[in-house]
A and B are shown apart, each in its own frame.
Chain A
Amino acid sequence: MAASRFLGLIAILALPALSGCAVLRLGAMDAAGPIAEAQRNLYFLLAIVLIFVAGPVLVLTPLIAWHYRISNKHSTFRPKWVFSWWLEGLIWIPPAGIVIGLSFLLWNYTQRLDPYRPIAASQPPLEIQAVALDWKWLFIYPEEHIAAMNELAIPVSRPVRISLTSGTVMQAMLIPRLAGQIYAMAGMRTELNLAASQPGVYRGGNVQFNGTGFAKQKFDVIALSPSDYEGWLAAVRAAANPLDPSAYAQLFEKTTPAQPILFSSAPEGLFQKILSRYQDPDMKVHR
């Protein structure tokens, strides 16, 4: 009974799965960079192990329940049978062994995929400073002295080191096709290393709820070939739209720009200024 119901469920669930699997291309299943790729591979490796963990329960539960149903007069009934060392060993030792084995895998991958770990490459990483705001992201290019709101252009194949902070409440930046998320918190700096291995446009956004504009706080990561990236930089610089004091003040308004905004220049130390914004006794941002 339970078994047939379960199979029925699988059939029902399989229908949209066949037609809707395209949705997974939005996530790390269709990784576009080395970090997300390693995470996806880890996922598949783990999924295979886990089949052996869950399989016995999924098979044994319906089988045993059905075989030993009260109406089956051919099954053994031994109400006093309550223990077997052999079975006991089987349910404690192999699972513990699997967990010990997985622990090595977990330790290894957690160190390897530490968001702070620089990605090995021949070129130095591109430095990006990301600021979480209500309800938008500001990306500062400190070496280029430019900034972009809700658009992050990066060159393909070059590692990117993103420093994060928040100008408001805690947020989390996730670009599923490139890497996992990390929190951005006011007064603190966190770091995310990632890279794109092919040109394309990848969705990113905040995934930690931060108010009514939360759902709109998305941005595109545009991975460009090195020459296109140079072209993008030139176009931004040519835009004549500096991040001046009035633009700075607007950062802290609770809005989402309809279109990405490109700033042709950004003041030196902008990230540090926002980072220490709440430490400034003259700011009186509080109340």
Chain B
Amino acid sequence: MNGAISPTILGRLEWLSLPFVRAWQNPTPDELIGAGAATIVVVGMAGTIALITALGKWRYLWRDWFTSVDHKKIGIMYVVLAFVMMSRAVVEGVLMRMQQATAINAPGIVEPDHFAQLFSTHGSIMIFFMAMPFLTGMINYVMPLQIGSRDVAFPLLNSISLWLTGGAAGLMMVSLVIGQFSTGGWSGYPPYTELEFSPDVGPDYWIWAVTLGSIGSTLSGLNFAVTIYKMRCAGMTMMRMPLFCWTTLCTSILMIFAMPPLTVATAMLALDRYLGFHFFTNDLGGNMMNYANLFWLFGHPEVYILILPAFGVYSEVVSTFSSKELYGYRSMVIATMSIAVMSFTVWLHHFFTMGQSASINAAFGIATMAIGVPTGVKIYDWIWTMFMGQVRFTVPMLYSLAFMMTFVLGGLTGIILAFPPLDYLVHNTLFLVAHFHNMLIPGLLYGMLAGYHYWFPKAFGFRLNEKWGQLAFGCWVVGFYLAFMPLYVLGAAGMARRTAEIFEPAFRPWLYVAGIGALILLAALVALFVQLWVSIREREANRVDAGDPWDGRGLEWSIAGPPPEYNFAVLPTVSGGDPFYTSKRNGDAYLPPERYENIEVPKNSVVGPLLGVFSAATGFALVWHMWWLAILGMLAIIITVIARSFIRDTHRIVSATEVERVDLAWRDKLFASRSISREMETTSANQGFAEVAA
């Protein structure tokens, strides 16, 4: 059973690459967990395929979703991907907490090698395949609607970005079933990830998954930036854009400049591993410090790529649910831009401990603290937005409040870490782990969940269940504090991160509390899925067809929920900030257009799915050294791109009569709806038609 099965065709694939075979030969709990995870992937895939086949939905999925280049559908698919990947990564997080809680002077439930794969996949997935798809999906859905556009600037490119990300996520899932993943952490530091120390396929899976994902994100960044620069509707000047669009613009700029260093770093590591280069090896002039530099040149702006869209969501949510214009809009824009620029000046704080001079460390430490000033300004701006407003504690608002108070604690520990002498003490310990979870759970996850609850009625035409939403919220918050506050203590006591076994009994109570917290976080995830299920079942009672359930402020609320494919029957013209809110107050919202015109929309395209499949196949082939498949995959990619360039007929026309029919049907529903006061917005009385107080 040892050795490659068929080197020419299957490369270095062995029978033992399959976790089922390993578990059969050696049925330890560790191998059984691995085989169980692989079984979940296989059964999940087979079950999904069987279900779609049984329901006869393949044609529908292919035509209406997979080949769609509609930014709204692409956005939704991104968010679905994020939820799927989040489920896996949360379970992995829980498993790690369980391991550490049981492995105190004991082996625990998984082997050290398996544990290392867990923290590597958990981190890689949470950053590249949960956070990035979530925010990219959110931006995709919302931003074009907010600027009054019919789509993003490059709809096909958008589909390609999605499918590259999807293909990369597929590689991550395949690594559970065939072979194993990297043990080098989400940052993949060489020389550990070089052939000399990690000759297995793990780092190769990491390299190709991250490379594909990073290319997808670069393309998304370009797409969003051009969309904001070129596709705003008449009157939508930059300073009238909702703040979510501003944070999107900053995130896009960061993506454009920060993703390429990552692509370069992974490509250089690939050259080392595949072609015997020596960029980061120990010998022949390689230097891993170059990798650390490149990686964090991406890695630090990446933090703000993740956090800025959430800041945008909070700006929308706090303003909407306080019935008040955003305080200090100009100040917010300046702060956002400052954060974006300064995010490129602090990357060295990720390796204060690499031995450079004290003056360099101090300069970067000061830059790191400085970035806290505009961030603090934003928090206060949200507080002053609530000030003299009418605050409603809906689920998105609860997330926003929890964010403000939790994020500021993460900011404090961030300043501690910005002091190089203190970083020396707690770098690489659980203190650091606690810190970045303390930033990213409120600063990304809560924001995305707030946005998910906030815009869900827009995307699907009905509200999410409030009770289950509150329960999930409670679990996310309580779970977070219980799971991560103990890690600060453990880190301060010197407990290293990524530790599969613990030899210090004094850590026990804290690891137990953290373990309970992790279980509560798992409950939070389950509550989200239950909420979705319950909400779909009772959707008829919670329809908000009129499209404006929260007395919204931006253009996205001025149209039906869900909006038609072309978004706006007639492109809007705006004359100020918060355009829809203002026109509701002026009584000129919902005015029927003078006439309807034909609308040109992009046709569906198979190019996105094809490129996704081909690039994932190429990545898989490179991982396993199946050279024939790698060559075939690359050729297929090139041929697809060239063939696409010969297709001239890429648009179709939605006729004016069809636009008129759809628009009038919505207007009928709109005028049949009862307007409701804000006190009733979380009840079934809410049909998406806001009562406008004088």
Chain A interface residues (CB < 8 Å from chain B): 1-2, 5-6, 9, 12-13, 16-17, 19-20, 22-29, 36, 38-39, 42-43, 46-47, 50, 53-54, 57-58, 60-62, 64-66, 68-71, 75-84, 87-88, 91-92, 95-96, 99, 102-103, 105-107, 109-117, 168-170, 172, 174, 176-177, 179-183, 185-188, 190-191, 203, 205-216, 218, 278-279, 283, 285-287
Contacts and interface: CB of A to CB of B under 8 A. Distances in A.
B499 A214 contact: yes
A106 B116 contact: no
A212 B113 contact: yes
Contact of B509 (A20, A57, A61): A20
Nearest to A218: B503
A107 B362 contact: yes
A170 B189 contact: yes
The secondary structure that dominates the B interface is helix
B250 interface: no
B302 interface: no
A54 B418 contact: no
Given A107-B366, A186-B282, A26 B355 contact: no
Contacts of A43: 416, 422
20 contacts: A2-B398, A9-B478, A27-B425, A29-B493, A46-B422, A60-B383, A64-B386, A65-B401, A70-B391, A70-B392, A75-B388, A76-B388, A81-B327, A87-B384, A110-B361, A115-B424, A116-B357, A185-B354, A212-B183, A287-B196
Contact of A54 (B284, B408, B485, B493): B408
Given A16-B486, A110-B419, A186-B191, A91 B283 contact: no
Among all A-B residue pairs, the 3 with the closest Cβ atoms: A180-B424, A176-B494, A114-B358
Given A24-B493, A42-B419, A79-B324, A19 B113 contact: no
B421 interface: yes
Contacts of A50: 412, 415-416
Nearest to B371: A99
Nearest to B492: A27
B380 A287 contact: no
B640 interface: no
B513 interface: yes
B373 A26 contact: no
A130 B351 CA distance: 20
Contacts of B361: 110
A9 B481 contact: yes
A278 B282 contact: yes
B572 interface: no
Contacts of B58: none
B469 to A, nearest CB: 14
Contact of A65 (B386, B408, B482): B386
A181 B428 contact: yes
Given A29-B492, A46-B416, A182-B355, A39 B425 contact: yes
A176 B328 CA distance: 45
A172 B393 contact: no
B388 A183 contact: no
Interface string B185-228: 10001011001110000000000000000000000000000000
B116 A209 contact: yes
A47 B409 CA distance: 11
A88 B409 CA distance: 22
B114 to A, nearest CB: 9
Contact of B386 (A68, A80, A83): A68
A188 B196 CA distance: 18
A79 B427 CA distance: 45
B322 interface: yes
Contact of B496 (A2, A16, A207): A207
A185 B421 contact: no
Contact of B283 (A174, A182, A205, A278): A278
A16 B511 CA distance: 11
Nearest to A87: B384
Contacts of B369: 99, 102-103, 106
Contacts of A95: 372-373, 376-377
Nearest to A134: B197
Nearest to B113: A212
Nearest to A182: B353
B428 A77 contact: no
B486 A99 contact: no
A13 B481 contact: yes
B65 interface: no
B494 A213 contact: no
Nearest to B392: A70
B498 interface: yes
A164 B500 CA distance: 25
A52 B376 CA distance: 13
Interface string B324-335: 111111010000
Contact of A286 (B196, B401, B423, B502): B196
Given A26-B504, A95-B372, A190-B355, A110 B408 contact: no
A52 B293 CA distance: 34
Given A64-B387, A116-B358, A169-B197, 8 more contacts: A23-B507, A28-B492, A79-B324, A170-B191, A185-B354, A212-B500, A215-B503, A286-B283
Contacts of B423: 180
Nearest to B378: A91
A215 B112 contact: yes
Given A42-B421, A76-B388, A110 B362 contact: yes
Contacts of A62: 401, 405
A163 B33 CA distance: 43
B362 A185 contact: no
A75 B392 CA distance: 14
A99 B372 contact: yes
Given A46-B422, A68-B390, A169-B191, A16 B492 contact: no
B548 interface: no
Contact of A22 (B411, B416, B506): B506
B388 A58 contact: no
Most chain A beta-carbon contacts within 10 A, residue among B322, B388, B422, B425 = B425
Contact of B421 (A68, A110, A285): A110
A168 B415 contact: no
Contacts of B506: 20, 22-23, 26
A190 B288 CA distance: 14
A78 B327 CA distance: 12
Contact of B424 (A6, A47, A182): A182
A110 B359 CA distance: 8
Contacts of A211: 116, 183, 192, 197
B370 interface: yes
Contact of B415 (A46, A111, A174, A218): A46
B288 A170 contact: yes
Contacts of B625: none
A50 B415 CA distance: 8
B584 to A, nearest CB: 12
A205 B503 CA distance: 12
Contacts of B401: 2, 61-62, 65
Given A107-B366, A183-B354, A68 B388 contact: yes
Most chain A beta-carbon contacts within 10 A, residue among B196, B388, B507 = B388
B281 interface: yes
A9 B328 CA distance: 32
Contacts of A115: 355, 424
